[in-house]
Each structure stands twice: as structure tokens, then as C-alpha cells.
């Protein structure tokens, strides 16, 4: 029986996780861009909007304008004496339903015409070859340049180092050692890497960079949801979130992706039905897995940890393959794709890819408007950051007064 009402959960206030190496790289970025030809931004396919790092957007915009792109028409270039491309790779494509990829690509092309977007997985050689061929083609468009320098950026744990290792193995024939260390935990890369050669002819070099989290995840329900999403993909340091909070949101999202037969039914006792009640779900899961505490009490806390880790390791693949694509003839109107898209379908609307793209375009517009409003209202800046900014401004004024007196 399908779920007809899926209530959105109340989530905890997001923690702050912005170590010093992230701040250091953010300050270095404008200088690094002066010797960069291609920015390769890696995002997570499950969070194609949430994994956009707005902290870096200002530096990227300035870099594009300095390289001849029209600030009033983002898709038009006035001067093209040197390469300047922003490629967005949505990594881990096997963790989102295939049917949404083309509509999403088309929707993003309308909103961000200056970006080249492609889906990839380091486990699919064809995807890596496509990316390698794209970098080579950009190099050939600028034959006067001796080499192409690629800067790889993105949030923690989106797969930057792993993708670069695969790119190197594709671009350079023969056996090549693993270039970068990788980890399932965020924060492995903490400094700018040395140049990694990813193509011999033409010469293409890449720099791996530290994953940079948003300094402040935001206020209210939007900030809370943003934090939980990033924690679910292990983009935030383990331990900053209670696993039951992550399990609650994961249960909600899997229900949205398939209200008729959610992926988690595979790990519940035979005959179980979809549920929106976390306590009921964890009790069933603990029973199914034989998770007991002393006194023969079911260990639901352990079940919550198991649920999140199951989804990260294998459940995500199952959810992507079994996600339900609804249309206007469906008996209920909730539809989802990944963890960033959710909409309702009315009986009078179109069905298929046209509907999906239309709904995605509306969702992207809402995301852009929401983040712009957050920035305008300074809701993306914490109280601590505001105090630090005031202190820095005061120090600057004092230096200027001191310099004026000496002058």
C-alpha cells in the first residue's frame, strides 16, 4: 500500500564544521585562479544543488569576468585569448535514477549557460573517457598554450581525489600509481596537491584541493535540512550529528523516492509495509537484524547506525534503481529525484521528461532565489562570523588611522 502523506521531519540545528585548512584554501583561491584554465567542480549527484559551494562562487565569477566572459550574459564570451571553462561533474551518478539525468542537464543549461555539466562515476570508464576527451578538446582550442591547468574543487567527500586518480589512469597509458590518497571520511585532503599530469599529448595538469564546507549552513528549517543532507553523504565530520536524526531524514527521503515500495523494505522483516514512523521502523529493523541490548531490549540506536551505513554502502544503489517515476495518471502526486528534488504532480499536467524538466526548472529557480535571499539577509553568516568581520573592519580602520598620522 502506498504512502499518501509523507510529513517532513523536524531536524536539529546544523553544527559548524570549518577547519582552518578550509579557510586557508578559500583565501588562496583567487590567486590560484590566475594560473588556472579549467575549474573542474565536483558535486554529488544525490545533492546536485546542496553540494554547490556558494563560498567559492564570488572568486569564480571574478575569474570568468577577467578572462573575457560577459557579466551581463553568462553564456557569451567577449574575448577568448586563453582557456576559461567551468566544468561541473556530478559524481556518483549510479546513486540517482537514470530517468532524471537528461531533464536535469537541460534544466541546468537554461539557468547556468556558462557551465558544462556531465554525470560521471569513477567506476564507469566511459564517463572518465568523456571527461578526459573534454579536457583534451579544450586544450586543442588554444594551440598556442603549452599546457592546460585544471583546478579541482568541491565540498568534502564528493569524490575529487578518486575521480582524479581515474582520470590519470585513463589519460596516461600503461600502469600508473595511485596519485592521491582517498578516504570514506571527509577531510583527507588538507592542502593543495602538487601538479598531477593527466594527459601527455596535449599536456594537461590537475591540482587536487581540500574539500571546502560552507562556513555556516544557514538558519531555520533550510539550514537544518542542508546540514542533514551533507551529513548523510558523509560530507560532514562523523560524530557531529546524532545518527537517529540522520535516520529520520533518510526514512523520509526514501519514502519520497518510492512511496509504494521504498528501498528499505529489503532490510525489514518479510511482509512489512512502508512507514513514516521512525520508532516503528527502527524497532522492526532491530528485530530483523537481531540487535539487542542487555535485558533483551531492542537496540534501536544501533539500528539507526546500521540503516545509515547500509544506505551509504549498498542501499543508495537499490534506491536509485527502484525509485518510482510518477506521471499524471498516478494515484498520488509526490515525486522525487535524488535528495534535492521533490514536487507534486497534478492530474492536468504533462507526464514524462517534459514534466520532470519543468518541475526541475522550478526547483532550481526556487533554490537560486532562496540562496540569494539568504545572502541578502545575511542568514548564511553565523553570529560568530559577523563578530569576526566587525573585529577585522575595526583593525583595518585603526591601521588606516595610524598610517594617516604617520603620513
Match 539557468 to its residue by C-alpha cell.
111
The reported pLDDT for the residue numbered 3 is 82
Does a cis peptide bond (omega within 30 degrees of 0) precede residue 202? yes
Nearest to 256 by CA among 175, 146, 143, 335: 335
The Cα angle at residue 77 between residues 75 and 83, in degrees rounded to 5:
110
pTM of the full predicted structure? Answer: 0.85
Grid coordinates representing 35?
Answer: 594560473
35, 33, 37: which is closest to 141 by C-alpha? 37
The owner of cell 549527484 is 45
Question: Could you tell me the three cell numbers for 168?
Answer: 590519470
279-305 per-residue burial string, b: 16 or more CB within 10 A, e: under 16: eebbebbbeebebeeeeeebbbbbbbe
Q: Which residue has the cell 526514512?
A: 251
- Checking DSSP bridges between strand 341-344 and strand 334-337, what pairing results, if any? antiparallel
Q: Is 36 left (phi over 0), alpha (psi -120 to 50) or beta?
A: beta
Hunting for cell 593527466 — which residue is that?
198
- Grouped pLDDT means (10 residues each) for the chain, 407 residues: 83 83 88 94 95 90 94 89 94 94 95 94 91 93 91 90 86 59 47 73 88 84 92 87 95 93 96 96 97 92 97 94 66 79 75 84 93 76 57 71 75
- Is residue 55 within 8 Å of residue 212, measured between CB atoms? yes
Quick one: pLDDT at residue 386?
54
The per-residue pLDDT for 382 is 53
Residue 114 and residue 63: Cα distance in Å, rounded? 13
Taking the mean position of all CA atoms in its chain, how far away is CA 334? Answer: 23
Using CA atoms, how far residue 112 sits from 76, 198, 361, in Å, is: 11, 27, 11
Q: What confidence score (pLDDT) does residue 331 get?
A: 47
Contacting residues for 371 by C-beta, under 8 A, at least 6 apart = 54, 380
Instruction: Give me the helices (H) in 207-299, please.
Output: 220-232, 243-257, 278-289
Which of 374, 383, 371 shows the shortest CA–CA distance to 52? 371
Written as nine digits, the cell of 373 is 535571499
Rounded distance, CA 190 to CA 121, Å?
Answer: 23
Residues 6+ apart with CB under 8 A from 137: none
Sign of the torsion formed by the C-alpha atoms of 397, 399, 403 and 406: positive
Amino acid at each position: 500500500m502506498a504512502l499518501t502523506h509523507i510529513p517532513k521531519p523536524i531536524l536539529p540545528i546544523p553544527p559548524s564544521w570549518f577547519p582552518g585548512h578550509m579557510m586557508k584554501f578559500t583565501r588562496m583561491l583567487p590567486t590560484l585562479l590566475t594560473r588556472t584554465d579549467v575549474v573542474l567542480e565536483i558535486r554529488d549527484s544525490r545533492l546536485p544543488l546542496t553540494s554547490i559551494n556558494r563560498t567559492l562562487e564570488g572568486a569564480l565569477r571574478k575569474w570568468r569576468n577577467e578572462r573575457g566572459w560577459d557579466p551581463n550574459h553568462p553564456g557569451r564570451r567577449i574575448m577568448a585569448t586563453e582557456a576559461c571553462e567551468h566544468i561541473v561533474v556530478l559524481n556518483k551518478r549510479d546513486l540517482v535514477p537514470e530517468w532524471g539525468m537528461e531533464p536535469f542537464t537541460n534544466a541546468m543549461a537554461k539557468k547556468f549557460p556558462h557551465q558544462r555539466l556531465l554525470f560521471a562515476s569513477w567506476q564507469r570508464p566511459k564517463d572518465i573517457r568523456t571527461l578526459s576527451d573534454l579536457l583534451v578538446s579544450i586544450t586543442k582550442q588554444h594551440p598556442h598554450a603549452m599546457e592546460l591547468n585544471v583546478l579541482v574543487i568541491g565540498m568534502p567527500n564528493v569524490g575529487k581525489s578518486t575521480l582524479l586518480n581515474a582520470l590519470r589512469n585513463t589519460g596516461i597509458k600503461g600502469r600508473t600509481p595511485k596519485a592521491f590518497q582517498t578516504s570514506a571520511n571527509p577531510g583527507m585532503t588538507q592542502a593543495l596537491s602538487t601538479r598531477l599530469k593527466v594527459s601527455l599529448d596535449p599536456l594537461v595538469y590537475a591540482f587536487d584541493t581540500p574539500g571546502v564546507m560552507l562556513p555556516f549552513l544557514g538558519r531555520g528549517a533550510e539550514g537544518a535540512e542542508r546540514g542533514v543532507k551533507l551529513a548523510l553523504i558523509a560530507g560532514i565530520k562523523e560524530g557531529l550529528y546524532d545518527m537517529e536524526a540522520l535516520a529520520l531524514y533518510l526514512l523520509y527521503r526514501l519514502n519520497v523516492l518510492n512511496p509504494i515500495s521504498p528501498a528499505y523494505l529489503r532490510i525489514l522483516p518479510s511482509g512489512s509495509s512502508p512507514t513514516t514512523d521512525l520508532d516503528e521502523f527502527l524497532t522492526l529493523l532491530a528485530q530483523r537484524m537481531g540487535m539487542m541490548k542487555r535485558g533483551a531490549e531492542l537496540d534501536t540506536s544501533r539500528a539507526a547506525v546500521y540503516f545509515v551505513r547500509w544506505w551509504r554502502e549498498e542501499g543508495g544503489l537499490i534506491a536509485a534503481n527502484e525509485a518510482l517515476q510518477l506521471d499524471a495518471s498516478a494515484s498520488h502526486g509526490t515525486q522525487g529525484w535524488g535528495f534535492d528534488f521533490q514536487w507534486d504532480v497534478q492530474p492536468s499536467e504533462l507526464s514524462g521528461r517534459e514534466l520532470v524538466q519543468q518541475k526541475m526548472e522550478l526547483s532550481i529557480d526556487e533554490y537560486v532565489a532562496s540562496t540569494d535571499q539568504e545572502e541578502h539577509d545575511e542568514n548564511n553568516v553565523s553570529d560568530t562570523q559577523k563578530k569576526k568581520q566587525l573585529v577585522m573592519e575595526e583593525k583595518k580602520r585603526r591601521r588606516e588611522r595610524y598610517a594617516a598620522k604617520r603620513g
